[in-house]
Amino acid sequence: MINRRRQEAGAPPFIGLIPLDEAARVRAIERTRQFLDGRPDRLKVLFRQFPSLAAWLVTHSLSEGYGDTGHAVYPHIADTLRVPLDNQQHRKVLFSSFCGVCDRFGLPTRGFDRDVDVYLLHAGVSQAQLPHLIDAFLRQEAAFGPPPVETTVLLNRWEDDALYFLPPAVIVPRRAILWDETAWHAALFARIRQDPEAFVPAIEFERCFKEVFDQRLKETRPTSSRGGSEALAPRPRLHWQSGGLVLRLPRSEGRIRLWLDGAQRPLRLRGGEDWTLPQPWPREIRWEISGQSGQLELLAHGGCAAFDRMTGHYLREIPRGAVEIELDSTDIAILARAPFSVAGEPALEPETDSYVGFTMLGPRPVALNLDGVQIGVRARPRRRLSLAGAEIASGPRGVLHGQSARLRIETGLGRSETRAVRVALGMQSRLNEVLISDDGFGDVGMEEVLAGFAETEAADPVRLRMELMAPSADGATVHGSGIGLAAWVWPGFRDSDGIVFHSDGPVRNLVQDECLHVGRDDQGRLCLDPGGGYSVARAVFEIEGVHVPFDLPWPDVSVTRRRAEGSLAPLPIGTRLSVGEDDRFDTISIRCPDQKAQLVIRGRREERPFLGGLTRSLAVRDLLTPASDERVLLRRGNGSEVLLFELVAALAPQGINFLPARSAIRLQLKFGEPVDAVAVEVEGETGAVVLAEAALRHRPVATRRPEWFHAEVSDNDAHGLELTLDADWLDDGPRLARLLIRPEGRDGWRPLRNSRGDCFAIAIINPAANDFVQDGELQRRFEALSRWLSDCYAAECWPTLDRTLVPRWQELGLRLRELHGGDGAVMRAACLPPPDHAAPGWVPILHPLQFAPDLYAAAPQAFASLAASIDPGVAEMAALATLDTARLRELSHLHPTVYLAFRNLQAARDKGTRLEGFDPARVFRNLPLVDGDPSAGWFWRGTPLLGPDHWRAAHLRLVERLDAAGLFVEDTAEEGPNSRRQASLQRLMHAAWILAPEKLRPPAPHRSKESEEPAQVDLWGSALLSGFARASRLNEVSEYVESLSTRADMSPRQALTSIAFMLRLAPELFAFHLLLWQIAKERP
């Protein structure tokens, strides 16, 4: 019976947890006692005649009793079997017999320090120690997200990482968790977490687990799962990701503070994100999270650090002088601060004192040579399935592979055999037999795995599920081992030239509305937007009814900048970058698919910075010291050079004066130092850039001055100059011209910007040119205009931009809205980030709402494309497209509070009828009642929607933006860059509060435990956003804006400007109200 139940689908991998009903359990124990008759010499016979029963009795005694009164093992076994086990010889017989059964079943027995550890391993986590384990799972979930159930490998890593949160004195559960490759306990936790009410335990242990889970959830959530003072705070973790080292930050209440290498000023980072570590890597990272502090040392004492390349997890440090090391991975990256070689290959040196090497591991040691000492490194025997090679794209749910990938099987047994792998695709399932070598490894091509599946003939990306079968003993029927892998595979993919993805047939399951920079060509093939201007594109496929996103990297070099507060922005190739002391903790990352390319960083050449898929990350602090050459160049494998960026100091004119001109722009500039050359960088709507240079004195420039560009010094004074830019040469649309200056006696161009980051630029246009835009180019040109207008310009330059660019932006935006998917494209353009040089507190002046007040009254499906937005506040609006379903109760991403707002909730439950009568006022009334966790907003990551966590998270982001912009804070100056906008917004918010019926005034959370009331700006701002969201979804925008402007005593145009300002400050809170009022519209 036990052997049969062990082979059933879903059976626990631990022998001691295999279920028997009470009568069968009592009968089995009594008959075993009679068989042994108190004689330990009969143990060998018992295991020979009844192997499954004997192993079960040993482990089950520990599953039930271990840890209740102590940590002794043999007394529990002896009590169950009723035989004495005080004699060491009897214990050896028991151990060898037990291991023989485990080997027969394909279960691990090697690598333990003590014999009793094998028994405890196969007993699983005892019932007495479940509270510790569940607490650890809850804290791991709170800090690093829910368990990833897609693959056993990732789930197992998540389960292993959770052990950090176990109390130091709790040792035994660690062994069962670390040696269980199936991650069974974490999978059980995930099943319960997914739907606690619907969970039905299949065995007694699952029932006990659920009871303890419910109890611990009630008792520990306010403290340990949210980082209470008595609980161990989650710590940042090192991770290898996208060819570089990152610090994975746990979710936390408030900002995380980090000090690098003894720095005096800390970084203040948002939890739940990955922060790229610059090269050379810091040696010491001190952190402070939720009032607790700690430090992390990275290669501070020599030696190496090993990472799993498949999952990115940090494995362990390899100390200097070690002889042999066993690692839990077969594909590793090794990092060190000194040169080394692995498997005969010398390590790469992307930066001084930063060395990286890669190797595959197996059961036989690979030589690691460090400081003249050879260390043997090998893989720990494990049961594992993994998919390697043919990576097409990656995403939050895993990697998309092509059919040339190979499935790698590890049995962990070290013997040759034939093993079966069950492969399931859709409704089809079949067994594939794989030859396993004597070292326990085997592999098979994905093309062979997919052969015979009808669904692969469509050639679309699919989800493939695989499970390693247990060894088939004595011809028994094969059964699952619990080692699984779910993978995304594109059977029809053939190759790619970087832009077009060639496949056997047209891609049919692409969700075009949710893609970003991805489309289909005229043959239905997947292709990227060839215009570039992005580091990754997003493709979304519908697989098994779920929309699955993948990121496709731009096929050429890309440069991104991550600011100290965590924001990420792409840098245009060739940009002139101004940085200062305030930017010293920023990081600039360079990715290049050309592994033969070199980098020239301020005159210093790096030979192989991208070999092995490495990403080069530069610390801005290392770029602040003066250098004779401030350029960063890429030298491709073919010898050609590309200027990636140039470090320049910005320069502001002392005076600027525009002069009258016909079909041209004329202006005079005055500087505090002599100038010997001037240039203008002219960019078109399609992204084409023209650089025109003019020498003013004796020193020449690199290129010949074009006819349309004129420059000369004013009155023979090198401190002043006069420029003329003719517009007759322009053939379509406006251009943005940015001004550059070369001071006398210096090299390189300096952009014109003031100390606040305001840019000096002008717009030029040829009125006689044909500026008509074809429909296919509308989105691209509109996005370019939106990007230009998101910049912060000097007040002297704004009139030319306002006259030229704004009307064009409005015209193209209105035309774009008329196209299919146009509303979504306009919404996405509204969230384009300001340029890199803009001040952190800058809030763009314009928003599409100012020419399209009814933009957010668009049909629900128009919001679907927002899922690909880089702005989380905008991406949340994509859920609006899901709210027109016939059965709202089936939407797992809605918080239960939403359903309490339906007037017929009880009747709908009783009769199974449609929910009707949604009342937003009930949501507003209930939110403070169900808001039991003041820190919840810091931990919310997209779901569930419209609950207290979502509500708090949206308000937190509003407060952060208000602080960054210096708005509505006590020490705000009466005159400042945002003072007028603040005054106008305050009037409008107050008017919205007065207009809203009392029951429809949204609540706001308290900003701190000390505050007695919510902040007034939070209440009034939420009322404005709720009122506008309601008007948008009920198609009453014109009436609402008219009433609001009348109450605030301002024009409708001014009112829309202030509403747009509020949308910039609180897109997440607007999304919250928009979703709420969409439900109200659908279910009145």
Rounded Cα gap, residues 817 and 802, in angstroms: 22
Q: How far apart are CA 14 and CA 181, in angstroms?
A: 11
Two structure tokens written together for 960: 């952060």
Confidence of residue 1060 (pLDDT cuts 50, 70, 90): very high
According to the model, what pLDDT value does residue 1067 have?
92
Instruction: State the DSSP H helix or E strand holding residue 443, giving kind and residue range, or none if neither.
Output: strand 441-445
DSSP at 642:
E
Distance CA 596, CA 593 (A): 9
Residue 227 pLDDT grade (very low, low, confident, very high; cuts 50, 70, 90): very low
The secondary element (H helix, E strand) that includes residue 1041 is helix 1037-1048
CA dihedral 632, 635, 640, 646 (to 10 degrees): 0
pLDDT score of 225 more than 60: no
Average pLDDT across the chain, whole number: 85
Q: What pLDDT is attached to residue 222?
A: 40
Contact 56, 2 (CB under 8 A): yes
pLDDT band at 1066 (very low <50, low <70, confident <90, very high): very high
Helix (H, G, I), strand (E, B) or coil at 1008: coil
Of the candidates 272, 946, 905, the one whose C-alpha atom is nearest the C-alpha of residue 566 is 272
Least confident of 207-216, 256-265, 599-608, 795-804: 256-265
User: Mean pLDDT over residues 834-863, rounded?
Assistant: 88
> For residues 246 and 912, which has the higher predicted lDDT (pLDDT)?
246
pLDDT of residue 74: 83
Closest CA to 960 of 848, 841, 815, 1053: 841
Task: Work out the angle between the directed axes of helices 1067-1082 and 1052-1065 (0-180°, nearest 10).
Answer: 110
- Whether 120 shows a pLDDT value over 70: the answer reads yes
pLDDT score at 406: 92
Cα–Cα dist 563/559, whole Å: 13
Q: What is the pLDDT of residue 600?
A: 93
pLDDT above 50 (res 226): no
Report residue 257 as tokens.
């503070």
Res. 717: pLDDT tops 80: yes
pLDDT for the residue 68:
58
Cβ 616 vs Cβ 279: under 8 Å: yes
Q: Is residue 353 within 8 Å of residue 280, measured between CB atoms?
A: yes
- Please classify residue 896 by burial: count the beta carbons closer than 10 Å to its beta carbon, then call 0-12 exposed, 13-18 middle and 19+ buried: exposed
Name the token pair of 1052.
């409708």
Query: Which range is least confidently modeled, 6-10, 218-222, 242-246, 995-999?
Result: 218-222
The answer to whether 957 and 873 have CB atoms below 8 angstroms apart is yes
Give 39-89 pLDDT, tens digit per residue: 888 888 888 888 888 888 888 888 776 755 666 778 888 888 888 888 888
Task: Reply yes or no on whether the pLDDT at 525 is more than 60.
Answer: yes
Looking at residue 932, what is its pLDDT? 76
pLDDT in the model for residue 754: 79
State the Cα–Cα distance between residues 882 and 945, nearest whole angstrom. 12
Q: Would you place residue 781 in the very low, low, confident or very high pLDDT band (cuts 50, 70, 90)?
A: very high
Q: How many CA atoms lie within 13 A of 218 on its CB side?
A: 5
Judged against a pLDDT cut of 90, whether residue 497 lies above it is answered with no
Q: Please, what's the b/e burial string for 146-183 (b: 16 or more CB within 10 A of its CB; e: otherwise)?
A: bbbbbbbbbbbbbbbbbbebbeeebebbebbbebbbbb
371 pLDDT more than 90: no
| pLDDT surpasses 50 at 973 | no
Q: What are the residues whose beta carbons fall under 8 Å from the beta carbon of 770, sequence distance 6 or more?
A: 731, 732
CB 722 within 8 A of CB 668: yes
Q: For the chain, what percentages of helix, strand and coil (3-state, to nearest 5) are there?
A: 35, 25, 40
> If we measure between CA atoms, which residue out of 560, 643, 554, 556 comes closest to residue 594?
556
Is residue 704 within 8 A of residue 778, CB to CB? The reply is: no
Predicted pLDDT at 21:
74
On whether the CB atoms of residues 310 and 323 are closer than 8 A, the answer is no
Q: Name the residue among 835, 650, 683, 840 with its Cα closest to residue 752.
A: 650
Residues 105-117: tens digit of each pLDDT: 767 676 666 777 7
pTM: 0.73
Phi, psi of 137 (to 5 degrees): -65, -45
Which DSSP state fits 20? -
- Summarised one tens digit per residue, pLDDT across range 244-255 is 899 988 877 778
Residues 403, 459 contacting (CB under 8 angstroms): no
Read off the DSSP letter of residue 595: T
pLDDT on residue 228: 38
The contacts of residue 17 (CB under 8 Å, 6+ apart) are 60, 63, 123, 124, 203, 205
At residue 577, the 3 state secondary structure works out as: strand
